[in-house]
Amino acid sequence: MVAAWLYVRHVGGLIEETWARHSSSAPSRIYSRALDLYPGRTLGRADLVRELEARGYRRMDGPGPVRTGEYRVRGDALQVGLHAFAYPPPDGLAAGFPLDIRLGAGRILSLTDRVADTAALDVRLEPATIASVLDRRMVLRSPVPLQRVPARLVEAVLTVEDRRFFDHGGVDPVRLAGAAVHDLLHGRLDQGGSTLTQQLVKNYYLTPRKTLGRKLREAVMAVVLEHEHSKAEILRAYLDEVYLGQDGPVSIVGVQEAARHYFSRDVSSLDLAQSALLAGMIRSPAAYDPFRHPEAARRRRSVVLGLMAARRLIDADQRARAERQPLPRASAERPLDAAPYFVDYVEGELERRYPRDALRREGLRIFTTLEPRAQRVARNAVREGLAALEEAHPDLRRSGEGALQAALVAMDPRTGDVIAMVGGRSYGVTQFDRAADARRQPGSLFKPFVYLTALEDTTGRWTLATPVADSTLRVRQDDGTVWSPGNYDGREHGRVPLRDALVHSYNLATARLGLEVGLPAVVRTARELGVEGRLRPVPSVSLGAFEATPLTMASAYAALAGGGIRPDPLTVLHVVQSDGREAEARELTLRRVAPAGPVYLVDRALQDVLERGTAASARELGYGGDAAGKTGTSSDYRDAWFAGFTPSLVTVVWVGFDDNRSLGLPGAVAALPIWVRFMKEVGDPGPDPFPVPPGIRTVTVDSSTGLLPDGSCGATREEVFLEGTEPTRRCTSAEGAR
Amino acid sequence: MSHGTRAFAIALLLGAPLAACAGGREGSAVPAVDARASTPERTASERLVERGRALLGAKRPSEAASVLERAVRVDPSNGRAYLALARARIALGEPVVARGLLERAAALLRPYPQEEARVDSVRDSLPGG
């Protein structure tokens, strides 16, 4: 007797501990940006459909009203059953409603709230879930209050799983007797006869083994659980814990997650047919998976509806209507797979503040800057770009972890928002994030910082027209060695204007310029722009002989794109606790790091890089927009880079091997085509002129000397100057001929 | 619905240029602030600027900042959104953050002397001028 009492006490303690842990545990979710919808917004039908699919909306082709989580395409109009969504404060819960979107000429023409029959002005497509931070069990589970579970679903579940739930005390003797008779007749333990309470106990505490001892323990624990908790609490826990299928390696647990996974809607809006399907799936989620076995799922739903009708929970009409309802179809887009490197980076960012266990169990909601469309295009650009490169250069082909790699970072320079990040060609093969963690030599990607340092010189000594010698130089370094760089084409180009030296990426001219303006000043400029790491004022620094990540380079180039104002890179915008309170908001932070005038001059020269410089092939590859950029190639062709930007988008691409093997190709051949693939789809297709800051003068100068032409010199060209630095002297015929 | 918001809504429904109702000073109508003032992005962003200003006026700067950051993201070329966000940051006791935002506001609003003067006046109010 005492032993039995002690056992029951022990079981009671075990139950309470596990109960408390399970009732609040939920994985954190990482979301993309929401998509603001407003009349006039550029958005084509195909893109809108992809955005809807990425958020789990299901296309509906048949008749009948479009319900929450569904959309229907009718020519250039879409009907969307907009989800409700809880945004971070102060916006809070935005109600879902049926929305009509009319499109035309690649834009939104109008938005109509179909219930109110009025124009909808402030509409957002809620963020897409890009990841859930799961524990080792890989369980996707979201607790939901019982009040939000529709009565139909509860009725359906009780009908098929435990009709006498409200009458028994944890164990159902009638059902148990039936199961025992069946097992005796068949000579094995295969009829469960379990109540909901017993199933919950089994999920919480026990192994799935079918032994008599385990069944007895299950029964004792079920009775104790019923003693300690109300029927409502047990029902809620069951609905939160019931296993309802798989999404790849991830287990779908609980009716809320199942509603999202199978129907793309909140559990509260499930209808009769959907409730019957979910309830029917409990017996065997794999066998009745509507995505993989639609016919079996339809038959099972029919059985559940029949049982509900037999219990007079529904009438014949309701049953017939539910039977006719189409089964859900899997969404075409799988946003959970789209941004694994970005997700890792975000988790790393958050782990500095939130322990990993909190991320896995506390149901935080993390709102990020990722734009699903840009991310998808970036991922494809990297995959297809690398495949094309290997096709053209078969010697680059390697398999597995030794394969040619690439990274891409795209950032809005006006806000610092990282909108896309690809850290490698296949996360499945290697998870090392080359976008944020690979420190590689940027090579000529660094050169604009040397030119910016010169143009910032307030004495006005340097302009884009100032000639600089592109000729051999030998520098004795502090350690006694002699540094003597060469140009990529192996030639010297004589005296060339600063602009041409940058446009054609001449090493000799740039190295000389770095020495002239002072290497400490060059390093200071780079640091101001956000280049971190071991930057030392040695001559080779001007040619990018140090190490930086693609993310760092994107951040530095954002200052060039932003007229000298640098944003702090942002990936996380808000973290919201499970109770809806904001745990953290990361603010948009800008800082002027360089004067607008000199930055404008550098930008103008970098625009020329795409017109007639090292990246002129961008035009042949099909990129027609206005942009500025710089190629980069490190020593022995180990790293190929391209950083290109408009005032609204900076994109940095790196290509190379993880083991530092030579690629044998420059940035223009290996990295630029990936940039073009990305920008052709994501970059603004129209002209995106760089705003002209005050104090800029345009003057016609002699091309070779940078002086005012006098008619007897050579060719002339337009050049931009900071006010007060324009040439005042005319070139002589002797100078012009030089 | 505030007067400003209603004005935006009516302007949008009528297809009128936003300039007609996009006040540069709280509660008053002023001429267009820039050539992009009638773009869809600007219209959507200005609605949020109005909402942010209302929150700021109601002494709810944290919420205002959140709404105004959204206004910036909807149209990152809207100088008035940066200006309003800078005011929210000042109200939150973050002058350093505000100064960076004012840099961008100044760069975007430079062609519009009235607006630029407002940026300067806010900048002058910061510690260190």
The 10s digit of each residue's pLDDT in A40-93 is 999 999 999 999 988 889 898 878 889 899 999 999 999 999 999 999 988 889
User: Does position B11 have pLDDT exceeding 90, yes or no?
Assistant: no
- Looking at the complex, report in whole angstroms how far the Cα of residue B30 sits from the nearest Cα belonging to chain A: 23
Nearest CA in chain B to A416: B73
AA letter at A681? E
Q: Which of B43, B60, B66 sits opposite A585 (nearest CB)?
A: B66
User: Does position A455 have pLDDT exceeding 70, yes or no?
Assistant: yes
From A161, A241, A362, A456, active-site residue: A161
pLDDT of residue A629: 97
Q: Which residues of A touch B100 (CB under 8 A)?
A: 565, 589-592
Confidence of residue B24 (pLDDT cuts 50, 70, 90): very low
Residues A45 and A78 sit within 8 Å (Cβ to Cβ): yes
Q: What percent of chain B has pLDDT over 70?
A: 71
pLDDT of residue A74: 92
pLDDT of residue A119: 94
Active site residue A349: no
Query: What span, in angstroms and rounded, lies between the C-alpha atoms of A526 and A552?
Result: 11
The per-residue pLDDT for range A613-649, each reduced to its tens digit, is: 999 999 999 998 899 999 999 988 999 999 999 999 9
pLDDT of residue A54: 87
pLDDT of residue B27: 33
Residue contact A563–B107, C-beta within 8 A:
yes
Confidence of residue A330 (pLDDT cuts 50, 70, 90): confident
What is the DSSP code (8-state) at residue A366?
E
Confidence of residue B37 (pLDDT cuts 50, 70, 90): low
In sequence order, which residues have a C-beta less than 8 Å from that of residue A132 and are 6 or more positions away? A27, A28, A29, A30, A140, A250, A336
Confidence of residue B1 (pLDDT cuts 50, 70, 90): very low
* Enclosing H/E stretch for A629: strand A628-633
Residue contact B44–A36, C-beta within 8 A:
yes
Size of interface A-B (CB pairs under 8 A): 82
Query: What span, in angstroms and rounded, lies between the C-alpha atoms of A183 and A181?
Result: 6
pLDDT of residue A559: 98
Query: What span, in angstroms and rounded, lies between the C-alpha atoms of A414 and A558?
Result: 8
- Residue with the bigger pLDDT between A210 and B110: it is B110
* Enclosing H/E stretch for A614: none
* CB count in 10 Å sphere of residue A296: 16
What is the DSSP code (8-state) at residue A471?
S
Burial class of residue A520, CB neighbours in 10 A (0-12, 13-18, 19+):
exposed
Q: Which of B12, B41, B69 sits opposite A588 (nearest CB)?
A: B69
The per-residue pLDDT for range B59-99, each reduced to its tens digit, is: 999 999 999 999 999 999 999 999 999 999 999 999 999 99
Average pLDDT over residues B19-40: 45
Query: What span, in angstroms and rounded, lies between the C-alpha atoms of B13 and B35?
Result: 20
User: What tokens appear for A381 in the block?
Assistant: 């650009």
Confidence of residue B15 (pLDDT cuts 50, 70, 90): very low
ipTM: 0.82
- Looking at the complex, report in whole angstroms how far the Cα of residue A149 sits from the nearest Cα belonging to chain B: 32
Confidence of residue B4 (pLDDT cuts 50, 70, 90): very low
pLDDT of residue B85: 98
User: What tokens appear for A560 in the block?
Assistant: 């060039």
User: What tokens appear for A304 in the block?
Assistant: 């559940």
CA dist list (Å): A615 to A513, A664, A670: 22, 17, 11
- Residue with the bigger pLDDT between A421 and A579: it is A421
pLDDT of residue A136: 65
Burial class of residue B123, CB neighbours in 10 A (0-12, 13-18, 19+):
middle
Average pLDDT over residues A368-376: 94
Q: A450 and chain B: CB distance < 8 Å anywhere?
A: no
pLDDT of residue A338: 78
User: Does position A189 have pLDDT exceeding 70, yes or no?
Assistant: no
User: What tokens appear for A11 in the block?
Assistant: 């079981």
Cα-flanking dihedrals φ and ψ of residue A478, to 5°?
-55, -35
Query: What span, in angstroms and rounded, lies between the C-alpha atoms of A296 and A299?
Result: 5
CA-atom Rg of chain A in angstroms = 32
User: Does position A735 have pLDDT exceeding 70, yes or no?
Assistant: no
Residue contact B44–A694, C-beta within 8 A:
no
Residues A366 and A28 sit within 8 Å (Cβ to Cβ): yes
pLDDT of residue A689: 78
What is the DSSP code (8-state) at residue A729?
S
Alpha carbon distance, N-terminus to C-terminus of chain A: 111
From A264, A444, A634, A703, active-site residue: A444
User: Does position A175 have pLDDT exceeding 80, yes or no?
Assistant: no
Query: What span, in angstroms and rounded, lies between the C-alpha atoms of A204 and A213?
Result: 17
H helices of A639-684, where?
667-670, 672-682
Residues A111 and A223 sit within 8 Å (Cβ to Cβ): no
User: Does position A264 have pLDDT exceeding 90, yes or no?
Assistant: no
Average pLDDT over residues A667-694: 87
Task: Reduce the DSSP state of residue A507 to 3 states and report it.
Answer: helix
- Looking at the complex, report in whole angstroms how far the Cα of residue B87 sits from the nearest Cα belonging to chain A: 14
Nearest CA in chain B to A123: B44
pLDDT of residue B29: 37
Residues A80 and A113 sit within 8 Å (Cβ to Cβ): no
pLDDT of residue A712: 73
Query: What span, in angstroms and rounded, lies between the C-alpha atoms of A634 and A684?
Result: 30
Mutate to test the interface with A, among B50, B82, B97, B103 (most CBs of A within 10 A): B103
pLDDT of residue A249: 73
User: Does position A24 have pLDDT exceeding 80, yes or no?
Assistant: no
Residue contact A590–B76, C-beta within 8 A:
no
Q: Indicate the range of A102-111, A243-252, A520-529 predicted with least confidence.
A: A243-252
Residues A671 and A386 sit within 8 Å (Cβ to Cβ): no
Residues B92 and B62 sit within 8 Å (Cβ to Cβ): yes
H helices of A41-90, where?
45-54
User: What tokens appear for B17 in the block?
Assistant: 């240029």
Residues A277 and A290 sit within 8 Å (Cβ to Cβ): yes
- Residue with the bigger pLDDT between B55 and A355: it is B55
Q: Are strands A250-253 and A139-141 parallel, antiparallel or unpaired?
A: parallel
pLDDT of residue A703: 87
* CB count in 10 Å sphere of residue A169: 12
Cα-flanking dihedrals φ and ψ of residue A721, to 5°?
-135, 155
Closest of A119, A593, A93, A641 to residue A365, by C-alpha: A93
User: What tokens appear for A617 in the block?
Assistant: 């092939």
Q: B1 and chain A: CB distance < 8 Å anywhere?
A: no
| Bridge partner residues of A30 (DSSP) | A131, A366
Query: What span, in angstroms and rounded, lies between the C-alpha atoms of A544 and A556?
Result: 13
User: What tokens appear for B74 in the block?
Assistant: 């909807």
In sequence order, which residues have a C-beta less than 8 Å from that of residue B47 and are 6 or more positions away? A121, A122, B5, B8
Active site residue A735: no
User: Does position A102 have pLDDT exceeding 50, yes or no?
Assistant: yes
The per-residue pLDDT for range A287-328, each reduced to its tens digit, is: 999 999 999 999 999 999 999 999 999 999 999 999 999 898
Q: Are strands A85-86 and A582-585 parallel, antiparallel or unpaired?
A: unpaired
Q: What is the mean pLDDT of chain A?
A: 90
